[in-house]
Structure 1
Amino acid sequence: MTEQTTEAVAEELHDVRLTVNGASYDVRVPARRLLSDALRHDIGLTGTHVGCEHGVCGACTILLDGAPTRSCLLLTVSADGREVTTVEGLTERDGSLGPVQQAFKDCHGLQCGFCTPGFLTTITAGLRDNPDPSEAEARDMIGGNLCRCTGYANIVAAVLRAAELGAEAEPA
């Protein structure tokens, strides 16, 4: 019988600089580290949820340079030097709820809340691009996000309410 030794193979780490919710972060991550994992485990922002790990459900959606992006499909090294906005970055500077968050509260747009961060980031970008959506456009806006608890009616109502709140906040 021969003696076998097992050596742990050290995975090469990569230095990545991210701007997350306006703050700069330098992280050392393995090449295979997903952005969703880096946000949660390396940076400590746990608002981004991982649902399906296949980019299908939308729970992990963040804004990457302003565009809705599935963080469970993106390697952290691919986000080097980029601007990331998570659900934690959607609050107002004074800590109050942002318009999309307030609309979700007003319209009871969440139940268990697991999918909510992905909806909030997706809708934030959608309303930036289309600040006055019709109901059909609101439904289309959230088409890539899944919720197992609701029938989507309250979420669509929240999109329309967030558009109203955004219009009210604009200077005349």
Structure 2
Amino acid sequence: MAATLGQGSSLREAALPPMEDLLHRTGNHVSLGVLEGTDVLYLERLAADDATINITRIAGRLPVHGCSAGLVFMAYASEEKQERFLSRRLEALTPDTVTDPERLRGILADIRRNGYVSMAGIIVEESSGISVPIFVEDQRAVGTLTVIVPRGEEHLAVTIPQLQFAARAITRRLGYEPTARGMQRRSEPRPR
């Protein structure tokens, strides 16, 4: 996605201040991912001391089905891409990795309906990934914002609004504004 946007570094630059705020508010690891093929490529990762196990690293990759960020990308992908993804043989990375196509279809529908996903133990058994999309025009997810929390400590009623607030801030820093139908490019750049 970063390559098609031509703004991988712009996305990272736009995301850093909201990510830093999110790190300080939540006390949990925060990462920024983009879709690259069948993997999520991590452009940035901010670590929280003593939070939980987090295997993401800058320029690291995780398989789409094995991370909450990847499932967000699949939820907002075209139907053709979703079916191609669901028809692949998906490896179980932990006992909680979802590999059943019908169950994944349900998860993707829930993500589209709710605007987020929280997945416990799908790549690291002790951790949960909570992810939201970063949208630009036509509801296109150009990135994902994720917090990694200890499993069982998701606190979604607090965490989701914080993630969504940060994702909207990143969208605005990229030059888009929310509208009734999605995102719209601003006519003039806003000072940063």
If the length of structure 1 is used for normalisation, what is the TM-score? Answer: 0.28
- The structure with more helix, counted as a fraction of residues: 2
Q: Which has the larger radius of gyration?
A: 1
If the length of structure 2 is used for normalisation, what is the TM-score? Answer: 0.26
- The structure with more strand, counted as a fraction of residues: 2
